[in-house]
Amino acid sequence: MFPKWYDKWNKDNPTNVLGPAILVGAAGAAIFTAGIWWAVWDGPYDQQSMQTGPRGTGMHVARFVTDLNTQDPTIANYVTFPPVMPTEDSQRAGDVIEGVEPLLADLTVENYERLIEGMRSWTGIPDLLEPGLENYQTVVARSMIQMTQELNEFWGAHVNQNIGERNVGVSCYTCHRGEPVPTHSWFKLGNVNMAAAGWSANQNRATVQSQFTALPSDALEKYLLEDNPINVHDLDARVNDATRNPATIQDTYRTYSLMNYFSNAVGANCTYCHNTRAFYDPAQHTPQWTIANLGIIMVQEINNDWLVPLTDEFPENRLGPVFGDVAKVACATCHKGYQQPMHRLDMISDWPELATTGEPFYE
């Protein structure tokens, strides 16, 4: 029926149709099996959802299970020692150690040395508070001890959030994590686009402060150093009366920039704090909104009352590259991307010296 050359060619070049059929069938079976597996278990993309508000409002925080099961890696490097109970025979550090840090002179020798060893480990500064050594690090450390004591004593509503009677608090390690300069500290950037006419175009420039987005880069400066109003929400689409709502479109951009920063700083989305259909109504927000507002005020206090006054104490190489300002803190300086810094690790039970501005209580 076919030409002889055709029959000869087929005889010399046989076609194996069974092999490709098996390959296609195996591939199809693999795809089918993967689809069934994916429908039953998402594997690395499996999520858990935490409801934060009334049902039907979309108020929930979705997190990858793999993230929830991942501990902050810096916890493993946290060094702590239990306090040494003072006795009648305990000697005062100021009476025994020459050139002792005056702020800690009333501690017993054992607890003084213990605290100094802890602080050197937490900050990564091996000669921190060396007796008789008066340098900028000593001056700064003295102020930071007082700040930590005040945070633990007066800001428990934020640093002990949702813990009840359990201690959490903060220590030097909460921010420093073994580094002399805490990660996620920041400097002022100012007008990042000086060539622009009119408004300085603080947006459209990818910076750390803008979370590498096109949002403004001065949100931390305006809201966590200065006390500019964050709220810009109005019930009307357009408001021309500045006395009713003075917020500008630039303020709106800055608010988005700050909220984007918050989201990355604590590893949560908008509905962790807000009912997003009613940003204007605090009564419809979650308890975390109140905790976050306390945190904003606390950060403003840290920056303005404790850090900015130390500006002249720092050498030039430790100041900001644009305005020569001191490094400041924001939410991520402590949180590092987690809802609770150090996963609620108790930071003060072992360190009563940092828990109060008064006399340490040992138990």
pLDDT tens digits in sequence order for the chain, 363 residues long: 667 776 776 677 766 555 555 666 777 888 877 777 666 666 666 777 778 777 777 787 777 766 666 789 999 999 999 999 999 999 999 999 999 999 999 999 999 999 999 999 999 999 999 998 899 999 999 999 999 999 999 998 899 865 555 679 999 999 999 999 999 999 998 776 666 665 665 777 778 888 888 888 899 999 999 999 998 887 777 667 767 777 888 888 999 999 999 999 998 889 999 988 888 888 989 989 999 999 999 999 999 999 999 999 999 999 999 899 999 999 999 999 998 899 989 999 999 999 999 999 998
Residues 215 and 77 placed together within one structural domain of the fold: no
Confidence (pLDDT) at 146: 97
Residue 343 lies in a domain: no
Residues 90 and 207 placed together within one structural domain of the fold: no
Confidence (pLDDT) at 151: 96
Query: Which residues does the annotation place in the binding site for heme?
Result: 144, 158, 172, 175-176, 259, 270, 273-274, 331, 334-335
Confidence (pLDDT) at 182: 97
pTM of the model: 0.83
Residues 216 and 319 placed together within one structural domain of the fold: yes
Residues 194 and 331 placed together within one structural domain of the fold: yes
Distance CA(124)–CA(172), nearest Å, equals 10
Residues 243 and 191 placed together within one structural domain of the fold: yes
Half-sphere exposure of 261 (CA within 13 A, CB side): 30
Residues 189 and 163 placed together within one structural domain of the fold: no
Which residue range is the domain that position 151 belongs to? 66-174+350-363
Confidence (pLDDT) at 23: 66
Residues 169 and 190 placed together within one structural domain of the fold: no
Question: What separation in angstroms does the CA of 16 have from each of 6, 9, 20, 24, 342?
Answer: 17, 14, 8, 14, 63
Distance CA(324)–CA(319), nearest Å, equals 5
Do 274 and 258 meet the contact criterion of CB atoms below 8 Å apart? no
Residue 296 lies in a domain: yes
pLDDT in tens, 132-175: 889 999 999 999 999 999 999 999 889 986 555 567 999 999 99
Residues 166 and 192 placed together within one structural domain of the fold: no
Identify the CA nearest to 63 among candidates 219, 355, 267, 328.
Answer: 267
Structure tokens at 254: 């800055």
Residue 8 lies in a domain: no
Residue 11 lies in a domain: no
Residue 20 lies in a domain: no
3-state SS assignment for residue 156: helix
Residue 5 backbone phi and psi in degrees, to 5 = -60, -30
Confidence (pLDDT) at 98: 93
Identify the CA nearest to 52 among candidates 204, 272, 206.
Answer: 272
Residue 125 lies in a domain: yes
Query: Which residues does the annotation place in the binding site?
Result: 144, 158, 172, 175-176, 259, 270, 273-274, 331, 334-335
Residues 230 and 288 placed together within one structural domain of the fold: yes
Residue 113 lies in a domain: yes
Confidence (pLDDT) at 303: 98
Bridging pattern class, strands 47-51 and 60-64: antiparallel
Residues 151 and 198 placed together within one structural domain of the fold: no
Identify the CA nearest to 321 among candidates 137, 187, 199.
Answer: 187
- Domains held by the chain: number: 2
Residues 129 and 212 placed together within one structural domain of the fold: no
What's the CATH code of the domain at 318? 1.10.468.10
Confidence (pLDDT) at 70: 77
Provide the β-strand partners of residue 62. Answer: 49
Residue 155 lies in a domain: yes
Residues 331 and 188 placed together within one structural domain of the fold: yes
